[in-house]
Each structure stands twice: as C-alpha cells, then as structure tokens.
A and B are shown apart, each in its own frame.
Chain A
Amino acid sequence: DAGITQSPRYKITETGRQVTLMCHQTWSHSYMFWYRQDLGHGLRLIYYSAAADITDKGEVPDGYVVSRSKTENFPLTLESATRSQTSVYFCATRRPDRGRGSYNSPLHFGNGTRLTVT
C-alpha cells in the first residue's frame, strides 16, 4: 500500500530559484491538498484540488503554483523561492464526499518534504 509519496524528502535551494515538489498517490482519491508546517503557525493550507484540472487557493497561496493534469499527481511549484518559504511541506488526499451530509472522509498525509531556501 504505497499511498502517498512525496519527493524529494529534503531540498536545499537558493533564493530566486524555481523548485517543484512532487506528490503522487496510488488511491485515486479525488481530493488533494498541500499544507506547509512552520513552528508557531502549525499547518496551513496552500492549495487544494477537487479533481483533475480543478484547483483552488487555500489560506497561504501567494508565491506558489499548482497543477493537476492527472488525478494521481499534484505538484507544487515555488516560482521564485524566498527564505520565508523555508518549511516542511505536506501533501494529503481525501476520498470524495458521498453526498449531502457525508462530508466525513479522513485526510491521509504523505511524509513531507523539508525545504530550505538559502
């Protein structure tokens, strides 16, 4: 059961560089999410996707770009990395809601990517 795979596990990049974090799932869950985790802030939602070609902003989307051409992949791109984007990034998935009153599928998380911007 591979579940969710994030790559790379660790990444060091320089300010101004473009970097892409990968997320792949084997379950075909329709919903996928990107969170960042920082000391003092906890986990915050960056972007999410309800299905292929459907994406939406979360709480902290500035400086990030996402795409979802295939259900199983949800890459996160930092177009011009800044030091404030140093963080641990988590991808998560969720099965679709079953309908009215059934918004209760749990989230499943990957092991994260630790990104350092120098």
Chain B
Amino acid sequence: KQEVTQIPAALSVPEGENLVLNCSFTDSAIYNLQWFRQDPGKGLTSLLLIQSSQREQTSGRLNASLDKSSGRSTLYIAASQPGDSATYLCAVRRRGGADGLTFGKGTHLIIQP
C-alpha cells in the first residue's frame, strides 16, 4: 500500500527566507507526483506536477524535485512571502489499483512578516 509522508508537519519562518518542504513515498511505481496548496476553508490548488520520468519542475519561485528511486520529493520556495502561508500537500498517482491520488498529511507553513 502506498504511503506518503510529509516532513515537517508545521514550519514557521521569517519573510524572505528560502525553504524546503519534504515528501516521501513508499512505492516508486508512480505516474507522477503533484504538489498542492490549500488555504483555510478552501479547496486544493495544483502548484506543480512532476512526471515519473522528470527530475524537477519550476513555476515562478517554486521548484519541485523528484527522486523516484529513493521515493522522495522536495518543494523549494524561494524568497518566501506572507502570502505563501498555507498548507502544502504532496500526492502521488500510483500505477495500478484504484485511480486517484494518495496524499500526504501536509506541511502547515507560516511566513512571518
């Protein structure tokens, strides 16, 4: 059974810092890995999708990497801003079994002004 773990569960940093969020998964048989952002009382917004054949994806100040063989992904946020405060979730789309994504429990990020 695929399990996805995110570390740390919560993180608070001053504005302007660069930071890294971690995600690990137990089964490397995946199609892709997605990073999402969730604001309080809202749905999930897709940030980046990395295909299993890719090593990284970039969007603005966000960079996500994928090491499928070791079951790890990182989300790098450069020059953090208070507006980046949210919960960040990673999820993998597994090969075989029920369709859909397996999610981690998220990292709750607070950027202090």
Q: Across the interface, do B99 and A104 meet the contact criterion of CB distance under 8 Å?
A: no
Q: Across the interface, do B98 and A106 meet the contact criterion of CB distance under 8 Å?
A: no
Please, which residues of chain A bring their CB within 8 A of the CB of B91?
Answer: 43, 107
Given the known A-B contacts A104-B31, A106-B49, A110-B43, are A56 and B98 also in contact in the complex, defined by CB atoms under 8 Å? yes
Q: Across the interface, do A108 and B93 meet the contact criterion of CB distance under 8 Å?
A: no
Main secondary structure of the interface of A (DSSP, over half): strand
Please, which residues of chain A bring their CB within 8 A of the CB of B31?
Answer: 103-104
A window 8-44: CB within 8 A of B: 31, 33, 35, 40-44
Q: How far is the CA of A40 from the CA of B105 in the complex (A)?
A: 7
Number of interface residues of B (CB under 8 A): 23
B window 22-66: CB within 8 A of A: 31-32, 34, 36, 41-46, 49, 51
Choice from B32, B41, B89, B100 contacting A58 with Cβ under 8 Å: B100
Number of interface residues of A (CB under 8 A): 27
B101 contacts the other chain (Cβ, under 8 Å)?
Answer: yes
Please, which residues of chain B bring their CB within 8 A of the CB of A58?
Answer: 98, 100
- A residues at B contact (CB < 8 Å): 4, 31, 33, 35, 40-45, 48, 50, 56-59, 90, 92, 103-104, 106-112
